[in-house]
Amino acid sequence: MTVPIVIASRPRDKVHVPTVTLAHGGGGKAMKDLIDDVFVETFDNPLLAALDDQARPELAEFARLGDRVAFTTDSFVVDPLIFPGGDIGKLAVCGTVNDLAVGGAIPLYLSCGFIIEEGVSIDLLRRIARSMAAAAREAGVQIVTGDTKVVNKSACDKMFITTAGIGAIPPDLRLDVGRVRADDLVLVNGLLGDHGAAILAARGDLALEAPIASDCACLAGLIAALLTAAPDTRFIRDPTRGGIATVLNEIAQAARVAIEIEETATPLREEVRAFCEILGLDPLYLANEGKIVAVVPPEQAQQAIAAMREHPLGRAAGIVGRVTSGQPGRVTMQTILGGSRIVDMLVGEQMPRIC
Amino acid sequence: MKYVDEYRDPVKARALVHEIETLASSIKTSADRPIQIMEVCGGHTHSIFRYGIEGMLPKSVELVHGPGCPVCVLPMGRVDDCVAIAERPEVIFTTFGDAMRVPGSRKSLLQAKAEGADIRMVYSPMDALALARRNPTREVVFFGIGFETTIPSTALTVLQAEREGIKNFSVFCNHITIVPTIKAILDSPDLHLDGFLGPGHVSMVIGTAPYEFIARFYGKPMVVAGFEPLDILQSIWMVLKQIKESRSEIENQYARVVPTQGNARALRALARVYELREFFEWRGLGSIDHSGVKLRAAYARFDAERKFAVPNAKMADPKSCQCGEVLKGVIKPWQCKVFGTACTPETPLGALMVSSEGACAAYYQYGGVRGQRTEPVAEARAV
């Protein structure tokens, strides 16, 4: 009697070891199982499921949405991997989406490359992947191609993620730092410094208990609302590493303008303010992962703020300063006392005060 | 009351500035120069620049930035000693952040770290001791810098290490004391100071009595000041008031933190673990008697200077460096020949451009020149 050979479909949960090993990066069966189980299953889209050497979205899709392609890349090496408000995966997706969105692009597709230190827990990897999938779903993007490498112990710090993102820029949009001019107003969408403070607190070096969560979020929706309300917006950038001070200096230098901000108008969460006070850190230099700096013409500022405040990520939106015809490249701040001081580019890293 | 916002009230600040203007205009100075008040402490320098206080004062009052920044006065040779210890493979070298950037004769600690030395930033000496506990096969060295503000915490850490019998922990002691610093300033022939803002946190430890000699023998007023803008403005006003009334006293504006008699427990720990060195080398100021402390013989096993052989070389500052003159307040930062050109925060020649409390770094960052002078360069006073 012949027994029919039933080829069962592959079981969902394919990886049965607790930690990542060099085999998982070796290109063989272990790696395929890891990719299927952790990534393909989780990111769940047909372009990725094909698992070709490249993803092949239709050109027509881009042409339908815009007349230019926006293309960006970023690497994520944050420590700790998981922190209040997010994790390295969420950060990777949001950071890449935001880099596209601040250029006015509709974000469409992401790639992600993982470099994983052997010994990392598979459950941790699954958790990070799920977090990325959730962030991607919320942002309306798909992760369609990727790469996985596993390195020896200590050859990298647990996990590094490199992404690239691609989107389409609608035809009439001309966001360009060169358009920034005197009398333009500088807006932000909320409280500053959350991410930087959250990461420092989460590292645990400080023996400080600080209930601060990262503001990590995808800003494409907020930016779309802003651009609808204020179509002549000159320029948008997200103040990540180096904080708002760095972005303002970049704008001032690139546009050859002066920018003046008001200390009373730079919104901070009470806990972040206290955190900075104790350590002697300047919140203007702390990273943000859910914030934008937008330069808008004065006559569109009110509707820009109103539109942002309608959006969950912009409830505390406001004007922080303005572009002036002062010394080009210079950023100054009116202190709460009424004095004035320069807000310079950060040199090296911020070091907490000694005494 | 949070002790922060209340002391930054802009309405009260404006009122104080107005009082300062009124008072200053009623004071007749003997020479044709502004009233010069030196803030000794680097924390005050930082605060003054960060809030733009200098620009709010009338032209008749000038703030002179003093040498009370422990990182700024680190001589290059001492940094070389740190690097030598840190480069030993068995050592974990721990230090406060700012000190990592000070240039040595070949490299800074930050550069040594990039080249592979195990150098770690800590926020307190207790962190260093914790590292020693966790790494029994490594030698943990803590770079002790700071005035009397930080000496007690290092002392208490050494006492804790002694209690626990920890054998792999030591301190490379570069702690300095404030009184000889102030005395060196007062004895300097280049300066014509009319009064002082006294260091707030050092005084929290040592009290106000040690400063009596300033009033008694040198006839200068000093007001121990807090660090918030209203503290500083009120203290300036108090100094001016003394000048107007021809008084010279030590007053305490920072009474909410500074007890007149200081902190007895901190002083006891300090005295138990440390003794004065005969003399100590200061960047830009040369050798000052009894200005530094070292671990007593009883604590020799916690003394990195005894544990490790260090080059201990006296390195001359670069020729173009005018750190000493800026430290003494003889010239302003932007009057230094290399300020903003050869010496910038990215490429510091001297420590004053490195530390967040250094006058040069503060001026560069907050009041910047960047190669373009925004005010006329006054003649540097003859040295």
Which of B56, B101, B149 lies at the smallest CB-CB distance from A348?
B101
Position B31 scores a pLDDT of 66
Mean pLDDT for A92-103 is 97
User: Pairing mode, if any, of strands A106-117 and A142-151?
Assistant: parallel
Task: State which residue of chain A sits closest to B365, comparing Cα positions.
Answer: A344
Reduced to 3 states (helix: H, G, I; strand: E, B; else coil), residue A309 is helix
Other beta carbons less than 10 A from residue A5's beta carbon:
5
Q: Are B104 and B97 in contact (CB under 8 A)?
A: no
Position B222 scores a pLDDT of 98
Position B378 scores a pLDDT of 36
Which of B98, B365, B372 lies at the smallest CB-CB distance from A354?
B98
Position A10 scores a pLDDT of 47
Give the pTM: 0.85
Chain B residues whose beta carbon lies within 8 Å of the beta carbon of residue A347:
344-346
Position B194 scores a pLDDT of 94
Sequence-distant (≥ 6) Cβ neighbours of residue B334 within 8 angstroms: B340, B363, B369, B373, B377
Kindly tell me if the per-residue pLDDT of A211 is higher than 60. yes
Distances (CA, A) of A273 to A210, A348, A355, B96, B331: 11, 22, 19, 22, 35
Q: How far is CA A256 from the centre of its chain?
A: 27
Kindly tell me if the per-residue pLDDT of B50 is higher than 60. yes
Mean pLDDT for A150-164 is 95
Distances (CA, A) of B332 to A280, B185, B319, B361, B371: 24, 15, 18, 12, 15
Residue B170 sits at φ, ψ, to 5 deg, of -150, 165
Position B257 scores a pLDDT of 94
Q: Are B73 and B285 in contact (CB under 8 A)?
A: yes
Position A62 scores a pLDDT of 96
Length of chain A: 355
Task: State which residue of chain B sits closest to A349, comparing Cα positions.
Answer: B97
Chain A residues whose beta carbon lies within 8 Å of the beta carbon of residue B204:
none
Read off the pLDDT band of B372 (50, 70, 90).
very low
Q: Are A38 and A125 in contact (CB under 8 A)?
A: yes
DSSP state of B119: E
Read off the pLDDT band of A323 (50, 70, 90).
very high
Distance from CA of A177 to the nearest CA of B (A): 23
Read off the pLDDT band of A338 (50, 70, 90).
confident
For the ranges A235-249, A295-309, B180-194, B354-368, the lowest mean pLDDT is seen at: B354-368
Read off the pLDDT band of B379 (50, 70, 90).
very low
Sequence-distant (≥ 6) Cβ neighbours of residue B192 within 8 angstroms: B31, B33, B36
Interface of B with A (CB under 8 A): 4, 8, 10, 13-14, 43, 46, 49-53, 55-56, 70-71, 96-101, 110, 121-123, 127, 145-147, 149-150, 201, 229, 344-346, 356-357, 364-368, 372
Please compute, for residue A335, the number of CA atoms within 13 A of its CA located in the half-sphere on the CB side.
28
Mean pLDDT for A211-235 is 96
Chain B residues whose beta carbon lies within 8 Å of the beta carbon of residue A339:
51-53, 55-56
Q: Are A286 and A195 in contact (CB under 8 A)?
A: yes
Position A207 scores a pLDDT of 67
Chain B residues whose beta carbon lies within 8 Å of the beta carbon of residue A352:
96-97, 123
Kindly tell me if the per-residue pLDDT of B313 is higher than 80. yes
Instruction: Tell me the β-bridge partners of B170.
Output: B141
CA distance A96 to A142: 12
Mean pLDDT for B200-210 is 96
pLDDT tens digits for A239-249?
999 999 999 99
Strand ranges in B290-366 using DSSP code E only, listed in sequence order? 293-295
Position B374 scores a pLDDT of 40
Helix (H) or strand (E) holding A167: strand A159-169
Distance from CA of A163 to the nearest CA of B (A): 27
Mean of pLDDT over chain A:
91
Which of A277, A337, A355 lies at the smallest CB-CB distance from B51?
A337
How would you classify residue A140: left for phi > 0, otherwise alpha for psi between -120 and 50, otherwise beta? left
Most confident residue range from A14-28, A47-61, A241-255, A276-290: A241-255
Of the candidates B132, B172, B181, the one whose C-alpha atom is nearest the C-alpha of residue B154 is B172
Sequence-distant (≥ 6) Cβ neighbours of residue B151 within 8 angstroms: B144, B175, B205, B270, B274, B293
DSSP state of B383: -
CA distance A256 to A178: 8
Q: A337, B123: Cβ pair inside 8 Å?
A: no
Reduced to 3 states (helix: H, G, I; strand: E, B; else coil), residue A45 is coil
Q: Are B112 and B119 in contact (CB under 8 A)?
A: yes
Position B383 scores a pLDDT of 31
pLDDT tens digits for B264-310?
999 999 999 999 999 888 887 888 888 999 999 999 999 999 999 88
Distant-in-sequence contacts of B10-13, Cβ < 8 A, 24+ apart: B10/A336, B10/A337, B10/A338, B12/B230, B13/A337, B13/A338, B13/B56, B13/B229, B13/B230, B13/B233
Name the residue type at position A118: E
Task: State which residue of chain B sits closest to A342, comparing Cα positions.
Answer: B366
Distance from CA of A197 to the nearest CA of B (A): 16
Read off the pLDDT band of B373 (50, 70, 90).
very low
Token pair, residue B269, equals: 């720990």
Q: A354, B10: Cβ pair inside 8 Å?
A: no
Helix (H) or strand (E) holding B306: helix B304-307
Read off the pLDDT band of A204 (50, 70, 90).
confident
To the nearest 10 degrees (0 to 180), the angle between helices A122-139 and A88-101 is 30
Name the residue type at position A38: V
Position A12 scores a pLDDT of 55
Q: A340, B55: Cβ pair inside 8 Å?
A: yes
CA distance B227 to B329: 20
Of the candidates A222, A272, A214, the one whose C-alpha atom is nearest the C-alpha of residue A88 is A214
Mean pLDDT for B95-100 is 88
Which of A207, A277, A341 lies at the smallest CB-CB distance from B49?
A341
DSSP state of A36: I
Mean pLDDT for A95-115 is 97
Of residues B312 and A225, the one with the higher pLDDT is A225
Distance from CA of B273 to the nearest CA of A (A): 20
Reduced to 3 states (helix: H, G, I; strand: E, B; else coil), residue A159 is strand
Position B377 scores a pLDDT of 36
Mean pLDDT for B97-119 is 91
Read off the pLDDT band of A158 (50, 70, 90).
very high
Name the residue type at position A152: N
For the ranges B2-11, B42-51, B81-90, the lowest mean pLDDT is seen at: B2-11
Position B369 scores a pLDDT of 42
Position B42 scores a pLDDT of 87
Mean of pLDDT over chain B:
89
Helix (H) or strand (E) holding B332: none
Instruction: Tell me the β-bridge partners of A75.
Output: A162
Kindly tell me if the per-residue pLDDT of A1 is higher than 60. no
Kindly tell me if the per-residue pLDDT of B371 is higher than 60. no
Mean pLDDT for B89-113 is 92
Share of chain B above pLDDT 70, in %: 94
Read off the pLDDT band of B46 (50, 70, 90).
confident
Give every strand in the sheet of A318-324, ordered side by side. Answer: A235-237, A293-296, A185-188, A318-324, A258-262, A331-334, A340-342
Q: Are B98 and B123 in contact (CB under 8 A)?
A: no
Position A186 scores a pLDDT of 98
Chain B residues whose beta carbon lies within 8 Å of the beta carbon of residue A344:
364-366, 368
Reduced to 3 states (helix: H, G, I; strand: E, B; else coil), residue B124 is coil
